């Protein structure tokens, strides 16, 4: 059997050939879908060195920082967080720094955390500090706790700052903001 005759038989406009071609096409499309799903569902592994160690700043606005231990709740949260978390203090205020490697809904507003702990949130507003950085700030008071002024912001790798967590998330997911991102939360007692 010569090649042209074989090709004529395979591609002849017959019912059996039409069904066979459609079945082969459907099978190949199914394999493509399975292949894509396997790669889409596979978790992205963080680089081992980045996940194992993160160097935090030693100063904040000229004041020396010292590390604070994470609480048990914060430690459990940090184990699932796609990045790293640290609590630091300069003696006047507490800083919570979060290095975020991928866009995540696990990075949420500090007000949500305080509300979940029973604190009341008041006086939410945007504020600029002495370095002209824009922050989202609020005053909070919990049961039997001192009043705190809490300010937060998120900064991407290019220096773009976000004061709204949702705006950051959608900018990061859509590719308009590139990581890693640093989320900073400052909590200072009000006297």
* Per-position pLDDT tens, the chain of length 191: 566 777 677 777 788 878 887 888 899 888 888 888 877 776 655 443 444 567 899 999 889 999 999 888 888 888 888 899 999 999 999 999 999 999 998 998 999 988 988 899 999 999 999 899 999 999 998 877 789 999 999 999 999 999 999 999 999 999 999 989 999 999 999 87
Q: Do 19 and 66 belong to one domain?
A: no
Of the candidates 177, 130, 187, 184, the residue with the CA atom closest to the CA atom of residue 154: 184
Q: Beta strands 59-60 and 63-64: pairing type? A: antiparallel
- Write down the pTM of the prediction: 0.69
Q: Do 156 and 72 belong to one domain?
A: yes
Strand locations in 29-180 (E): 59-60, 63-64, 66-68, 83-89, 94-100, 120-128, 134-141, 148-155, 161-162
Read off the DSSP letter of residue 146: -
Q: Do 29 and 74 belong to one domain?
A: no
Q: Do 115 and 145 belong to one domain?
A: yes
Q: Do 149 and 65 belong to one domain?
A: yes
Q: Specify whether the CB–CB gap between 121 and 138 falls below 8 A.
A: yes
For 67, the domain range is: 48-189
Counted domains in the chain: 2
Q: Do 32 and 67 belong to one domain?
A: no
Q: Do 16 and 107 belong to one domain?
A: no
Q: Whole-angstrom Cα distance, residue 95 to residue 185?
A: 6
Query: Given this model, what pLDDT does residue 46 score?
Result: 47
Q: Do 110 and 26 belong to one domain?
A: no
**Length of the chain as a residue count:** 191
Q: Do 55 and 124 belong to one domain?
A: yes
Q: Do 17 and 101 belong to one domain?
A: no
Q: Do 119 and 31 belong to one domain?
A: no
Q: Do 145 and 108 belong to one domain?
A: yes
């Amino acid at each position: 059997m010569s090649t042209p005759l074989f090709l004529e038989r395979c591609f002849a406009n017959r019912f059996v050939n039409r069904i066979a071609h459609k079945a082969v096409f459907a099978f190949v499309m199914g394999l493509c879908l399975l292949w894509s799903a396997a790669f889409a569902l596979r978790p992205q592994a963080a680089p081992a060195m980045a996940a194992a160690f993160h160097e935090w700043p030693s100063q904040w606005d000229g004041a020396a920082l010292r590390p604070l231990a994470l609480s048990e709740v914060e430690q459990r949260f940090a184990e699932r967080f796609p990045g790293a978390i640290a609590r630091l203090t300069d003696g006047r205020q507490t800083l919570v720094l979060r290095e975020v490697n991928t866009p995540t809904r696990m990075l949420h507003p500090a007000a949500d955390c305080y509300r979940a702990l029973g604190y009341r949130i008041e006086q939410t507003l945007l504020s600029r500090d002495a370095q002209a950085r824009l922050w989202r700030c609020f005053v909070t008071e919990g049961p039997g706790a001192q009043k705190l002024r809490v300010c937060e912001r998120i900064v991407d790798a290019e220096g773009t700052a976000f004061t709204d967590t949702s705006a950051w998330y959608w900018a990061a997911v859509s590719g308009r903001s590139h990581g890693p991102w640093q989320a900073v939360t400052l909590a200072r007692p009000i006297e």
